[in-house]
Amino acid sequence: METVIQTLVNALMQSSFVALMAVGLVLIFGVMRVINFAHGEFYMAGAYVVFWLYAQNDLPFFAAVVAAVIVVGVIGLILEQILFKPMRENPLGGLIMSIGVLFILQVLAAVIFGVGLMKHIPPLYPGATPVFGLDGVAVPWQRLVAFGIAVLLLIAFWLFLKRTRLGWALRACAQDREAAALQGMSINKLALLAMGLGAGMAGAAGAIMAPLVRVYPYIGGPVIVTAFIVIVVGGIGSLEGAVLAAVLYTFFHTFVATYLDGSIASILGLLMMLLVLIVRPAGLLGKGEKV
């Protein structure tokens, strides 16, 4: 029983940062129509900002996380303005741009921080606390912090989308870009906002996970694969679907990894995505498209 509860705890902690990644990716696609392959590299950049500011230069952890969100958000804004905006009507061009950005950010990280030995990022809160008074079940403090920040950011983002005019505009643009433009909304400004927010969220995910994972230039690879699976399962363009799928996928993957094997979990995760595509091509909460 303790193993089951520990696995539930592991999955819950992991799902928060996966949701943060997926929501950012959905937002960028919804508004910009860009499959952003470089989204994993935004995550990587956030992790490196925390490494540099917190582990190397003794800035407080939370300040480093805020800095990571800002730095990666600004990277997103610059990329949108310089690279993605000119490709607005050429989605294939945007996709290729994002792949180029992926390589550029990886090489930049490799050149600036090196690729040899593991980066040491001590946790702000070492240790763990027992769950339900069970000695065999523990939740690490650092993961709890990461979970809390991720949930707060997701709630803040949800409130922003539902309660603010800018949020409404973003949702309108994601639903129908042409109709939004006809209503006088600036697609370019909304795309800029979406990219900044999406990149910032990925940066936040990397920042909060940095003390818990191995930080290296190619860390974005496995993360982006998971995020793609999640948004396909959740329904492309559906923010609620992304969060739901993040929780479902992470729980599924963590339980299979614990009771069977990590490789089997990854294979079954892909099969789960294929199954959803066959049974419900629009995803769990996605809306079907008129042909």
Supply the minimum distance, in Å, between the C-beta of residue 262 and other proteins.
Answer: 4
Supply the minimum distance, in Å, between the C-beta of residue 49 and other proteins.
Answer: 19
Structure tokens at 275: 């199954």
Supply the minimum distance, in Å, between the C-beta of residue 72 and other proteins.
Answer: 19
Supply the minimum distance, in Å, between the C-beta of residue 138 and other proteins.
Answer: 5
Q: Which residue number, 159 or 179, has a Cβ lying nearer to other proteins?
A: 179
Task: Report which secondary-structure segment, H or E, holds 8.
Answer: helix 2-32
Contact 44, 220 (CB under 8 A): yes
CA pair distance 251, 59, nearest whole angstrom: 34
φ, ψ for residue 196 (rounded to 5)? -60, -45
Q: Which residue number, 120 or 162, has a Cβ lying nearer to other proteins?
A: 120
Q: Which residue number, 70 or 181, has a Cβ lying nearer to other proteins?
A: 181
Q: Which residue number, 59 or 138, has a Cβ lying nearer to other proteins?
A: 138
Supply the minimum distance, in Å, between the C-beta of residue 108 and other proteins.
Answer: 11
Contact 202, 43 (CB under 8 A): yes
CA pair distance 241, 29, nearest whole angstrom: 14
Supply the minimum distance, in Å, between the C-beta of residue 151 and other proteins.
Answer: 18
Q: Which residue number, 75 or 102, has a Cβ lying nearer to other proteins?
A: 102
HEC secondary structure over 182-250: HCCCCHHHHHHHHHHHHHHHHHHHHHHHHHHCCCCCCCHHHHHHHHHHHHHHHCCCCHHHHHHHHHHHH
CA pair distance 114, 106, nearest whole angstrom: 11
Contact 217, 110 (CB under 8 A): yes
Supply the minimum distance, in Å, between the C-beta of residue 20 and other proteins.
Answer: 15
Strand partners, 134: 131
Q: What is the SS3 assignment for 287?
A: coil
Q: How far is CA 280 from CA 30, 163, 226, 234, in A?
A: 19, 30, 19, 10
Q: Which residue number, 74 or 138, has a Cβ lying nearer to other proteins?
A: 138
Q: Which residue number, 70 or 172, has a Cβ lying nearer to other proteins?
A: 172
